[in-house]
Amino acid sequence: MKPDLERIVAVDHPDPHTYLGIHVAADHVVVRGYRPEADRVRVVPAGGAAAVDATRIHPAGVFEAKFPGLKDVFAYQLEVTIGGQTRKEHDPYAFLPTLGEIDVYLAGEGKHYELWSRFGAHVRKLGGVQGTSFVVWAPSARRVSVVGDFNQWDGRRHPMRRLSPNGIWELFIPGVGDGAVYKLEIVSPLGERFLKLDPFAFETEIRPATGGIVHQHAPPKSGWSDAVWLNKRASDDPLRRPWSIYELHLGAWMRVPEERGHGAIDVGDSHTGRWLTYREIAPKLVEYLKKTGFTHVELMPITEYPFDGSWGYQVTGYFAPTSRYGKPEDLKYLIDALHAAGIGVILDWVPAHFPRDSHGLRRFDGTAVYEHLDPRQGEHADWGTMVFNYGRAEVRNFLLASALFWLEEYHFDGLRVDAVASMLYLDYSRNEGQWVPNKYGGRENLDAIAFLRELNTMVHEKHPGAVVIAEESTAWPAVSRPVYTGGLGFTFKWNMGWMHDTLAYFQMDPFFRRFHHQKITFGFLYAWSENFVLPLSHDEVVHMKGSLIRKMPGDEWQKFANLRALYAYMWAHPGKKLLFMGGEFAQPTEFNEARSLDWHVLTQGPNAPRHQGVLDLVSDLNEQLRARPELHEADVEPAGFQWIDANDNEQSVASFIRWDRKHERFLVCVLNATPVVRKGYRVGVPIAGEYREVLNTDSLDYGGSGVSLSAPDPAHDGNPLLVAVETGHHGQPACLTLTLPPLATVWLAGPKMPPKVEAPEKSA
């Protein structure tokens, strides 16, 4: 083993604090400093005592000053002269660790759920000295140094100490403060030296730069104002609330023309201009979501990522909001503004994989730290990314802390967890021989299952009312059932089966729909097996799939009619709703992250009234969803739904009832999926009496043909009045006779049901 001095000079010492800094010897106190570039070093004791010249004890730049007769350490500074310029600085190696034994223990056990409060870069004062502490986990590294502008990116200047056998490294650097750019210089077990982004960086440089930025967490500049929102969220049951989620890519929702100096504006349109910042988008997005009535917005991943074309799904910064749109406090401003408007915010979060970028997590210390070493377990060949090693306690802790961090520090209302199926199955998208079975010989990823259960348990325990939503595309059982019953514990699961069947049905020529009627009825056989979200997400309008409106068959009139009918059928269907941006006004082109939505179609071109009609319809759907308990109270229980007729495939008509929890209020929904006007169509209903048309997607207001269910009643705001007679039909005690508009969905509200009369108990 090399002596300490030689290891310091070689920058190969696992604990430089044991040699550098201030130490008590038998009959003196000694101060040592390593300043490779220094011409002279003096030790200046605090309190006015005389400075002492340090002797260069190694030509590489190790200096030593002795204080004979002293028996205790003391505060001091180093006076360093370089090239004729002298400055005073505090010695990083004079400070005790900033990480306590309990923190080290919990991190090693994978149970430090506030890991971000200790790891990463934190501005703090130690002994009255301002600086930044750095903590990182690099278990196999021979050496880790903090480098940045503050030390000329010289890894010799600030090597960290290894605090624990499992590889936690720590250093406090005086004088480094908020806004400093830094990286970690790591030496692998084989002696390779490279730079990495701090996995716990709270802010990063904007791509292509890859440095971390020291960031001191704080509330928005005006302070958080969402206490009322958070308290209400904690007391609400999300399963029984109206949920209409607007999925959003921040950089492609709306853009503004580029400025070209001297106030000049780019002559091009706003499609390919610059994106809005978090602060700029806040008032525009709040106004738009209030106008359209969405209850929540789901942000596609904004955890820092290097490649625009990944849309954020290849994450390098699990604790840093992307710098593309501004500073961390600007994101907090956006979320606070949305909460003030009564709008929840969901973060699309990606724990299933991470990219190979050299500055990221892959081979973090030269070995497989966050991923599996075996490519059969550690790589996603389809995506060119790495798979997290969920069996490693520190990796689980890293991901759990990331999830809780966004809920705690940024007040997100929940997480949408990406690609859950790829986590659950060891053979996901792998051929025989390309995967490793679990210890029982099965294909289930037991470590990932345990991680997901712990994730959902901790989120629901620590953040009441927050939700965790699984994007899970298989028939894995009990995804959204509690952990204590054997489930995975998610609040909701995306209903991918409903999405595929529904889009397949509506993409068909109406003539053929009668042969595939089960595609819009089959989903009700499993609609309550999970707590479902019905997603029409970004995945359905990318990669040459075309936009939703372009999927619809027929001429322009029929395309819009089909899309309107689909939306009203979807909003009446049990399950929470999710619609990707642009779908609400029938965006004509598919998603492109490099350009804005086609806002101009609402005001320009022959189809502008139809686009506006779709937008008005979605706004009305959201208004009805909020206002009518029968559309949301019993989403997750079969009692909230009742078929009227699931079997009229010959006419491609489906009809059903949505009930509130008390079975007092109900809504009748009828879908006519053909362009044929069906007169005299009889629909069974629960009670005779007056019925009102609540919504008709064929209304002239939405760009339809204006076929009415019956003659308008001027005494009731022009809404058609229909009367159900006491003639049994469809197994119901009464029936309505309707004129069904073409390619349309209609909603009808009936009279309030009389209270149920309980039979008297028989006397003994």
Mean pLDDT of 407-434: 95
DSSP, residue by residue, 135-192:
EEE-TT-SEEEEEEGGGTT-TTT-BPEE-STT-EEEEEEET--TT-EEEEEEE-TT--
Residues 61 and 115 both lie in one domain:
no
Contact by Cβ (8 Å): 208, 323: no
Residues 455 and 525 both lie in one domain:
no
Please report the beta strands in 606-664, taking only residues with DSSP state E, as ranges in sequence order.
Answer: 641-648, 653-659
Catalytic residue among 91, 170, 471, 620: 471
As given in the structure block, the two tokens for residue 483 are: 């952990």
Last residue of a domain, one of 442, 469, 494: 494
Residues 296 and 437 both lie in one domain:
yes
**What secondary structure letter does DSSP report for 198?**
-
Which residue has tokens 């903590």?
135
Residues 256 and 290 both lie in one domain:
yes
Residues 738 and 695 both lie in one domain:
yes
pLDDT at 217: 80
Q: Is 218 part of any domain? A: no
- Burial call 536-573: b when 16+ CB within 10 Å, e when fewer: bbbbbbbeeebbbbbbbbeeebbbbbbbbbbbbbbbbb
Is the pLDDT assigned to residue 160 strictly greater than 80?
A: yes
Residues 576 and 657 both lie in one domain:
yes
Is the pLDDT assigned to residue 715 strictly greater than 50?
A: no
**What secondary structure letter does DSSP report for 557?**
H
Contact by Cβ (8 Å): 75, 53: no
**Domain span at residue 158?**
101-213
pLDDT in tens, 654-671: 999 999 999 999 999 999
Contact by Cβ (8 Å): 349, 236: no
pLDDT at 712: 52
What is the SS3 assignment for 86?
strand
**CATH code: domain of residue 144:** 2.60.40.10
Residues 6+ positions from 688 with CB-CB distance below 8 Å: 723, 724, 725, 726, 733, 734
727 half-sphere exposure, CB direction, 13 A CA radius: 8
pLDDT in tens, 98-111: 999 999 999 999 99
Residues 558 and 655 both lie in one domain:
yes
The pLDDT confidence band at residue 548, using thresholds 50, 70 and 90, is: very high
The pLDDT confidence band at residue 288, using thresholds 50, 70 and 90, is: very high
Q: Is 451 part of any domain? A: yes
Quick one: which of 292, 295, 302, 315 has its CA closest to 362?
315
Residues 647 and 551 both lie in one domain:
yes
Quick one: which of 310, 140, 105, 342 has its CA closest to 242?
342
- Write the CA distances from 300 to 209, 247, 347, 486, 544, integer angstroms: 22, 7, 7, 30, 20
The secondary element (H helix, E strand) that includes residue 317 is strand 317-321
Catalytic residue among 418, 472, 590, 633: 418
Q: Is 755 part of any domain? A: no
Helices then strands (H, E): number in the chain?
14, 38
pLDDT at 116: 96
The secondary element (H helix, E strand) that includes residue 394 is helix 393-409
User: Strand pairing of 62-68 and 303-304?
Assistant: unpaired
What is the SS3 assignment for 80?
strand
Active site residue 539: no
Contact by Cβ (8 Å): 4, 13: yes
Q: What angle do CA 419, 422, 424 make, to 5 degrees?
A: 110
pLDDT at 754: 87
Quick check: bond before 208 cis, omega within 30?
Answer: yes
Q: Is 543 part of any domain? A: yes
Residues 709 and 568 both lie in one domain:
yes
Checking phi first, is residue 401 left (phi over 0); if not, alpha (psi -120 to 50) or beta?
alpha
Quick one: which of 599, 600, 602, 569 has its CA closest to 581?
599
As a whole number of angstroms, the distance between CA 581 and CA 424 comes to 29
Q: Is 754 part of any domain? A: no
| Number of neighbours of residue 383 by Cβ within 10 angstroms | 17
The pLDDT confidence band at residue 762, using thresholds 50, 70 and 90, is: low
Question: In whole numbers, what is the pLDDT of the chain averaged over residues?
Answer: 93
Report the sign of the C-alpha dihedral through residues 424, 425, 426, 429, in that order: negative
pLDDT at 271: 65
Residues 611 and 698 both lie in one domain:
yes
Last residue of a domain, one of 58, 91, 124: 91
Contact by Cβ (8 Å): 136, 172: no
- Write the CA distances from 752 to 630, 666, 727, integer angstroms: 12, 8, 18
As given in the structure block, the two tokens for residue 485 are: 């019953």
Q: Is 694 part of any domain? A: yes
Percent share of the chain, pLDDT over 70: 95
**CATH code: domain of residue 347:** 3.20.20.80
Report the greatest alpha carbon distance in the chain: 109
Mean pLDDT of 125-149: 96
Report the sign of the C-alpha dihedral through residues 9, 11, 15, 21, in that order: positive
Which residue has tokens 């050299």?
358
Contact by Cβ (8 Å): 530, 493: yes
What is the SS3 assignment for 45?
strand
**CATH code: domain of residue 671:** 2.60.40.1180
Mean pLDDT of 145-171: 95
Last residue of a domain, one of 158, 187, 213: 213
As a whole number of angstroms, the distance between CA 228 and CA 109 comes to 36
Give the chain's length: 764
Overall domain count for the chain: 4
As given in the structure block, the two tokens for residue 722 are: 């229909």
Quick one: which of 5, 10, 6 has its CA closest to 20?
5
Instruction: Say what angle helices 496-507 and 556-572 make with each other, to 10 degrees.
Output: 150
Residues 559 and 694 both lie in one domain:
yes
Q: Is 764 part of any domain? A: no
Is the pLDDT assigned to residue 764 strictly greater than 60?
A: no
Residues 299 and 359 both lie in one domain:
yes
**What secondary structure letter does DSSP report for 762?**
P
Alpha-helix runs per DSSP H in 15-170 = 101-109
pLDDT in tens, 236-279: 999 999 999 999 999 999 988 765 444 433 333 456 678 899 99
pLDDT at 49: 82
Mean pLDDT of 165-169: 94
What is the SS3 assignment for 414?
strand
Is the pLDDT assigned to residue 581 strictly greater than 80?
A: yes
The secondary element (H helix, E strand) that includes residue 287 is helix 278-292
Contact by Cβ (8 Å): 547, 580: no
Burial tier of 267 (Cβ tally within 10 Å: 0-12, 13-18, 19+): exposed
Q: Is 665 part of any domain? A: yes
Is the pLDDT assigned to residue 231 strictly greater than 80?
A: yes
Q: Lowest-pLDDT range, 197-211, 257-271, 518-532?
A: 257-271
The answer to whether the pTM exceeds 0.75 is yes
Active site residue 471: yes
